[in-house]
Amino acid sequence: MDSHGQYEQRVVWAVVGTGIGPLLLAATREGLVNVVFHATGEVRDKALERLASRLGTRPVENPGSPLLAEAIRQVEAYFAGARRDFELPLDWSLISGFHREVLRELAAGVPFGSVVGYGTLAGRVGQPGAAQAVGMAMGANPLPVVVPCHRVVESDGGIGGFGGGLEAKRHLLALEGVLPEPLF
């Protein structure tokens, strides 16, 4: 507690190696708050600075904290093909409004091994003409992989964009059996 009897915000983080490169996982007392792709060197440092600015406290590296240890275990199991769903508390404080609504629907309504079109997802949240806005929500997703924005594709069969890069999106969709594994 701080001097006013309030609980201080505590943010812990760790980096976990995956089949798509290192992911930074960050958590608050509420739950997992951020997943960042390509989390080495400057990318990691900038992500931690952004978190400090947005959450009002400097993140502390602590892979042994209970929530992070469980998140690491689940991420590793997912990439090993031994887990289909993440069962982690999530802190949605880095996103709000329409973006949060879309991401919550994505997390709850698009299971492992399936995909959904941007327009279809827009319709599910009552905004049938908002496919482009859904794309923006995917790009703003603070919890990629765990909140599976890689499962959102174009209605014409195109793969669409992805913050972690198209190769990472293809890898995730292949891991889930949606796309064939690349030959090389």
Give Cβ neighbours of residue 171 (< 8 Å, ≥ 6 apart).
Answer: 19, 20
Q: Can you read off the two tokens belonging to residue 87?
A: 């069962």
Catalytic residues: 149
Q: Which residue has the tokens 């923006």?
A: 136
pLDDT, tens only, 9-37: 699 999 999 999 999 999 999 999 999 99
Instruction: Give the Cα separation of 159 and 173 in Å (integer).
Output: 10
pLDDT of residue 1: 43
pLDDT, tens only, 87-104: 999 999 999 999 999 999
Residue 181 pLDDT > 80: no
The pLDDT-based confidence of 7 (bands split at 50, 70, 90) is: low
pLDDT of residue 182: 63
Contacts 24+ apart (CB under 8 A), 4-10: 8/57, 9/55, 9/56, 9/57, 10/57, 10/60
Q: Against a cut of 0.85, is the pTM above it?
A: yes
Contacts 24+ apart (CB under 8 A), 131-139: 131/155, 133/98, 133/102, 134/102, 135/160, 135/161, 136/99, 137/98, 137/99, 137/102, 137/103, 138/102, 138/162, 138/163, 139/163
